[in-house]
């Protein structure tokens, strides 16, 4: 049997074996080098606010572990899809060619902070009117009703119900709810002025 005989090994066999070995080592080195360059590039992209420490500030292994974790975090963040891209998601406005442009408006946040606009509107005719002087928006609205008699009880109650639903409940507001709230809200602002 010729294939079991070591005497049949020719110099060409040594050349083929050594070439394959050299090629394997070269490929491993190239892969290792590419990974090292990629990691170095990602490390260079780490902002100084995220890693304000220098390599000499701590042991090398600890620094290496921290940098590797920041690089891993950077890769994960780059591959994540936002949970709420905004447009079309429940609770977010979108640009509409036939209606108002509500792009980038989060309905619940806008409604929950609407009392600040009421405070500004009320402070023009009555300087010093502040919502901080009251324990709740309900108390603030009651004060506005006494100062501005044009604000009817049903209008104030409708505003308070929608405000509290936006502020304290998991109810998802859509465009129709937001438009209904804005109609109530703008009527209150109009009656203040």
Asked if 63 and 46 count as a contact pair (C-beta separation under 8 A), the reply is no
The reported pLDDT for the residue numbered 87 is 47
What are 82-103's pLDDT values in tens digits?
Answer: 555 444 456 666 655 566 667 7
Q: How many CA atoms lie within 13 A of 107 on its CB side?
A: 25
**Extents of the domains making up the chain:** 2-79, 107-192
Tokens of 148: 């501005």
56 backbone dihedrals φ, ψ, rounded to 5°? -85, -5
Model-level pTM?
A: 0.52
What are 126-181's pLDDT values in tens digits?
Answer: 787 777 777 888 888 988 888 888 888 999 999 999 999 988 888 888 888 888 98
Query: What proportion of the chain, given as a percentage, has pLDDT over 90?
Result: 16
* Residue 21 clears pLDDT 90, i.e. is over it: yes
| Contact partners, residue 110, CB within 8 Å, separation at least 6 | 178
Q: How many CA atoms lie within 13 A of 183 on its CB side?
A: 7
Pick left, alpha or beta for residue 128 (phi over 0 → left; psi -120 to 50 → alpha; otherwise beta): left
* Residue 31 clears pLDDT 90, i.e. is over it: yes
């Amino acid at each position: 049997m010729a294939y079991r005989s070591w005497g049949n090994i020719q110099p060409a066999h040594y050349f083929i074996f050594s070439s394959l070995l050299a090629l394997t080592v070269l490929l491993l080195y190239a892969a290792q080098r590419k990974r090292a360059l990629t990691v170095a590039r990602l490390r260079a992209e780490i902002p100084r606010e995220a890693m304000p420490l220098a390599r000499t500030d701590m042991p090398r292994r600890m620094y290496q572990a921290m940098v590797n974790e920041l690089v891993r975090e950077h890769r994960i963040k780059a591959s994540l899809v936002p949970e709420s891209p905004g447009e079309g998601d429940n609770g977010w406005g979108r640009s509409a060619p036939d209606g108002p442009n509500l792009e980038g408006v989060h309905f619940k946040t806008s409604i929950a902070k609407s009392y600040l606009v009421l405070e500004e509107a009320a402070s023009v005719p009555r300087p010093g009117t502040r919502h901080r002087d009251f324990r709740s928006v309900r108390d603030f609205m009651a004060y506005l009703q006494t100062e501005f008699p044009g604000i009817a009880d049903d209008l104030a109650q409708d505003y308070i119900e929608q405000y509290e639903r936006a502020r304290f409940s998991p109810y998802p507001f859509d465009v129709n709810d937001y438009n209904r709230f804005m109609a109530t809200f703008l009527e209150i602002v109009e009656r203040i002025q």
